[in-house]
Amino acid sequence: MAGVLEGVDKRTQLVGENRLELLLFRLVGSQLYGINVFKVQEVIRCPALTHMPNSNPVVRGIANMRGRTIPVIDLGMALGRAPMQDISGAFVVIADYNRTVQGFLVHGVDRIVNMNWEQILPPPKGSGNNTYMTAVTRIDEKLVEIIDVEKILAEVAGSVEEISGAMIEEGKTDGEVHILVADDSSVARKQIKRTLDQLGIHSTLVNDGQEALSALRDWADEDPDIAKHLAMIISDVEMPNMDGYTLTTAIRKDPRLKDLYVILHTSLSGVFNQAMVEKVGADKFIAKFNAEELAKTVIDAVKKSAARNAA
């Protein structure tokens, strides 16, 4: 299985080209699922697991892997399916999401595929708010569901969305502040909106980079001096249709949008991120999700935007 992930560190060259690589896997049955290879550290045969009393039922146990103790989540259970009965032949996908490392128990790993984000589509209409898909695609005429891991982790471990009174006081402004938020995860959008609401900041929420770019261009058509009305964009990196890096590149190429402040706010992590932020021209990168850190970053950016507009 190590061969499947060989050369993952070289795949950063896809960033900024609206491309990604998906690790495909199965739970129970033939349905294929996928997650971004950038988030995967390794895939191993399921080791012996130690049960944790009072843990969430979807956490099958903890394992000591390469000197680290990490929780192993039964991904099928997290999606509402029956628990995997025989885990002796199962695999664990070790992934880094939202500043934490965890293992996802899966039945089998298929392969890695290289795709264009334009081939990654939003979930079908009618999927509802309870869906665990952020996107879908087709590979060899088979439907692949891309899982909303952020939603799963929020349900398993919870998240702190409240910010301190001191931060709220620091964030007070004299006028109305407007921020555009682009994220394909419904959980992430709600977390960001909750943070901005506490700061008294108005937000417009969209589901992907293409929607964000269309909204920005429409607003710029109405008033080319869009920076006076929009403080910044907070964008996820992984999104259907158009990713955050491609969105940022498009913003910098448009004379009407090029001075907008862009924050990339993503569950992706790794040493390559800062280099990629600089490559596409984003102003800031923040790993998800820390409400206090996001609030502080937004406040500092709003002050810079206000000072620029006043100059």
Same structural domain for residues 76 and 221? no
Q: For residues 234 and 296, give the distance between their C-alpha atoms in angstroms, rounded to a whole number.
A: 13
Q: Is the pLDDT of residue 119 over 90?
A: no
DSSP 8-class letter at 135: E
Same structural domain for residues 186 and 205? yes
Phi, psi dihedrals of residue 139, rounded to the nearest 5°: -130, 125
The per-residue pLDDT for range 144-160, each reduced to its tens digit, is 999 888 888 888 877 77
CATH code at 85?
A: 2.40.50.180
Same structural domain for residues 145 and 190? no
Same structural domain for residues 133 and 256? no
Percent of the chain with pLDDT over 70: 89
Same structural domain for residues 254 and 281? yes
The reported pTM is: 0.79
Residue whose structure tokens are 């506490």: 198
Q: For residues 185 and 161, give the distance between their C-alpha atoms in angstroms, rounded to a whole number.
A: 16
Same structural domain for residues 271 and 221? yes
- β-pairing, 261-266 vs 232-235, is parallel
Same structural domain for residues 20 and 125? yes
Same structural domain for residues 198 and 228? yes
The per-residue pLDDT for range 37-88, each reduced to its tens digit, is 878 888 999 999 998 888 889 999 999 877 789 999 999 999 988 888 888 8
Domain count of the fold of the chain = 2
Question: Both tokens of residue 134?
Answer: 């952020």
| CA dist list (Å): 104 to 95, 109, 254, 270 | 8, 11, 41, 19
Q: Is the pLDDT of residue 262 over 60?
A: yes
Same structural domain for residues 94 and 194? no
Same structural domain for residues 206 and 72? no
Alpha helices in the chain (DSSP H): 75-78, 149-157, 165-170, 186-198, 209-222, 244-253, 272-280, 291-310
Q: Is the pLDDT of residue 10 over 90?
A: no
What does pLDDT average to over the chain?
Answer: 85
Residue 274: pLDDT band with limits 50, 70, 90: low
Q: Which domain holds residue 203?
A: 165-310
Host H or E run for residue 22 = strand 19-26
Question: Which of the listed residues 122, 157, 192 is the one where a domain comes to its end?
Answer: 157
User: What is residue 16's predicted lDDT score, i.e. its pLDDT?
Assistant: 56
Q: For residues 129 and 131, give the distance between their C-alpha atoms in angstroms, rounded to a whole number.
A: 6
CATH code at 197?
A: 3.40.50.2300
Lowest-confidence region among 17-31, 75-89, 227-241 = 17-31
**Which one has a higher pLDDT value, 15 or 4?**
15
Q: Is the pLDDT of residue 166 over 70?
A: yes
Same structural domain for residues 63 and 184? no
User: What is residue 12's predicted lDDT score, i.e. its pLDDT?
Assistant: 44
User: What is residue 76's predicted lDDT score, i.e. its pLDDT?
Assistant: 92
**Which one has a higher pLDDT value, 125 or 255?**
255
Same structural domain for residues 202 and 120? no
Question: Which of the listed residues 137, 157, 177 is the one where a domain comes to its end?
Answer: 157
User: What is residue 29's predicted lDDT score, i.e. its pLDDT?
Assistant: 81
Question: Which of the listed residues 109, 136, 157 is the one where a domain comes to its end?
Answer: 157
Nearest CA to 28 among 72, 73, 85?
85
